[in-house]
Amino acid sequence: MSVLEIKDLHVSVQTDQGVKQILNGVNLTINEGEIHAIMGPNGSGKSTLAYTIAGHPKYHVEGGSILLDGAEVLTMTVDQRARAGLFLAMQYPVEIPGVTVTNFLRTAKTAIDGEAPAIRTWIKDVRGAMTNLRMDKSFAERNVNEGFSGGEKKRNEILQLELLKPKFAVLDETDSGLDVDALKIVSEGVNRAKENTGLGLLLITHYTRILRYIHPDFVHVFVNGRIAEQGGPELADRLEDEGYDRFLVPEIVN
């Protein structure tokens, strides 16, 4: 069984005002098949955690480690991490000029699997996944994310999640900017991916509404760059009622 372990992770970024410490000792273990929700106020470091796992060069790891089945992820390049089985669904997927969705998906699949997918089944898989996500066929020939609406970009992320079949996926505020219909479609896609591959999920969100459709096994409250409280799904309900004030007050005094 696969396991992703984050141990005492400290991360900083370089800003105009100098080095800013963002993550202050994050500990988290995700087993295959588990869904962990990370919830927290804006600026608490949730997205930093997501990007650090994926290996974005902007974030500097000061200490700690991330282990995927015992192998150190932090020494891997971005593409090596993806090939090792990690996936990040981005909050703001970028446009890639000149590269069609079809070409991109095939290249990524080939890179991840180490060999080109069999043409016939691959085309069928792509079409099926697109239909499930209510994506029009014309998407396949458009450049990646170019001119896509916010909702279309998120669907395109989940399309990749379903086709690339990672062991662990981090969904960074995938719910933001989605209307309720799109939220349902995207959530169905995530649930389908989990059902089909049994992947582990780290669901990063500010709001609880996506948790109505994707049910977490664990909920972690993220404040000031570390996990302030954890519990089961009931913790999300409590946050829904109370908000994050309870966690923020002591920090201000501090």
Partner 1 sequence: MSAVPTLKTTPAPTAPPESTTQHGNKAHTDGRFGYVPVQTRSDRFKSVNVADFDAVTGREAVWKLSPVAKFTDLTAGELDGSVYPISSDPVDGVTVDWVDRSDARIGTAGTPEERAAANAWSTFEKALAITVSGEEAKEITVTRADLGASPRAAHVIIEAKPFSQATVILQNTGDARLSENVEIILGESSNLTVVSVQEWNTGAVHLTNHFASVGKDARLKHVVVSLGGSIVRVNPSVRLAGSGSDTLLLGLYFADAGQHLEQQVYVFHDAPHSRSRVTYKGALQGQDARTVWIGDVLIGNKAAGTDSYEQNRNLVLSEGTRADSIPNLEIETGDIVGAGHASATGRFDDEQLFYLQSRGITEEEARRLVVRGFLTEVIQQIGSPTLEARLQETIEAELLSSASLPAAVEAR
Which residue in 8, 72, 79, 251 binds partner 1 (CB under 8 A)?
Answer: 79
Supply the DSSP symbol for 116. P
Q: Residue 231 is inside which H or E element, if any?
A: strand 226-231
Count Cβ atoms within 10 A of the Cβ of residue 151 and give its class: 0-12 exposed, 13-18 middle, 19 or more buried. middle
Which residue in 18, 70, 98, 147 binds partner 1 (CB under 8 A)?
Answer: 98
> Whose Cβ is closer to partner 1: residue 107's or residue 131's?
107
Q: Residue 4 is inside which H or E element, if any?
A: strand 3-15
Q: Residue 29 is inside which H or E element, if any?
A: strand 18-31
The answer to whether 158 contacts partner 1 (rule: CB under 8 A) is no
Locus of tokens 């948790």:
211
Locus of tokens 């993220």:
222
Do residues 50 and 176 make contact, with C-beta atoms less than 8 angstroms apart? no
> Whose Cβ is closer to partner 1: residue 51's or residue 218's?
51
Binding pattern for the stretch 43-62 against partner 1, x by CB under 8 A and - elsewhere: -----------xxxx-----
Q: Is the dihedral of CA 19, 24, 25, 27 positive or negative?
A: negative
Which residue in 3, 33, 69, 104 binds partner 1 (CB under 8 A)?
Answer: 104
**Given the rule CB under 8 A, which of 30-38, 89-97, 213-221, 224-232 is the region that contacts partner 1?**
89-97
Q: Is the dihedral of CA 216, 239, 173, 25 positive or negative?
A: negative
The answer to whether 103 contacts partner 1 (rule: CB under 8 A) is yes
**Given the rule CB under 8 A, which of 76-84, 133-141, 172-180, 207-215 is the region that contacts partner 1?**
76-84
The answer to whether 15 contacts partner 1 (rule: CB under 8 A) is no
Locus of tokens 């919830």:
39
Collapsed DSSP state (helix, strand, coil) of residue 233: helix
Binding pattern for the stretch 194-233 against partner 1, x by CB under 8 A and - elsewhere: ----------------------------------------
Binding site for partner 1 (CB under 8 A): 54-57, 77-79, 81-83, 87-88, 90, 93-100, 103-104, 107-108, 111-112, 143, 160, 164
